[in-house]
Amino acid sequence: RLPPPPICPGMECAGTVRALGDGVGDRQIGDKVMVLARSGLWQEVVNVPASQTFLMPEGMSFEEAAALLVNYITAYMILFDFGNLRPNQSVLIHMAAGGVGTAAIQLCKTVENVTIFGTASASKHESLKENGVAHPIDYRTMDYAEEVRKISPKGVDIVLDPLGGSDTSKAFNLLKPMGKLITYGVANLLTGQKKNLMAMAKTWWNQFSINALQLLQQNKAVCGYHLGYLDEEVELVRGVVAKLVNLYSQGKIKPKIDSVWPFDQVADAMRQMQEKKNVGKVILVPEAPKEESKKEEN
């Protein structure tokens, strides 16, 4: 849903209010806020509607605030609004060490006795276990569906699917009766820095398809989620953010920052994600953090 190039990306950011438009009464100059927008936030100064800003809770850093909205709103609405996550259920989280994955793990832990399966490369498994994933699975060397079945022969209650293509079919087949599959991305389309038309065609061809009658016989649900298309649902999103701020203030969730990069190293920051090295969120800041500047001077 981006405008045509040239374009500045960025769906979320955090900062301090420097000026107010006419008629804005619920914000003050100096307020520390998180911002959610369709694009355009990789800038030092941004101009956004007041309704797209959310007050940062006490004690939250700007880096954490910039890491909260997209990942945690997505994870929350997938798990609770669509998934109806309840105690004693099981969840499969793909890309479990990424931004949404990390948020989903933390949110699962706010519910009693939830068993988490998480796919990630082997180097990230120790970190995942420390964060609460009972069963990390190396998707590069193992068939994750087989690994899940070894531990839970009936499958799982909820699958979070950011992959698309044939993985959505595998996810649907892994659901227990009354299970829910929530698809929220098509990462299989992206195979590197350049467009791979063969990979895109293959993913499109293998995309999962099912009709209402088939669903009726399966006793399963398929849901689709895209935060970018909820930008006009102001009250809905604001209600979710209020719940997330409350959970943060209680110490139940905390955005995990993988690394912080200045704007002039944006290519390196993107490479960190493309090469799947990150555990948590990759953050951009206008200038190099002061600690790093001191290290360079020394």
Percent of the chain whose pLDDT exceeds 90: 74
Question: pLDDT for 157-190, tens place per residue?
Answer: 999 999 988 889 999 999 999 999 999 987 766 6
Q: What was the pLDDT predicted at 273? A: 86
Q: Is 206 exposed, middle or buried (0-12, 13-18, 19+ CB in 10 A)?
A: middle
Pair 239, 54: CB distance under 8 Å:
no
Residue that has been written with the tokens 């960025």 in this structure: 10
Please check whether the domain covering 83-224 is classified as CATH 3.40.50.300.
Answer: no
Q: How does strand 32-36 pair with strand 53-55?
A: antiparallel
Q: Where are the domains of the chain?
A: 12-68+250-285, 83-224
Q: What six digits make up the tokens of 221?
A: 């649900």
Superfamily, domain 12-68+250-285:
Medium-chain alcohol dehydrogenases, catalytic domain (3.90.180.10)
Q: Can you give the pTM of this predicted structure? A: 0.90
Does this chain's domain 12-68+250-285 share its CATH topology with 83-224? no
Question: Per-residue pLDDT averaged across 5-18, rounded?
Answer: 94
Average pLDDT, rounded, for the chain: 91
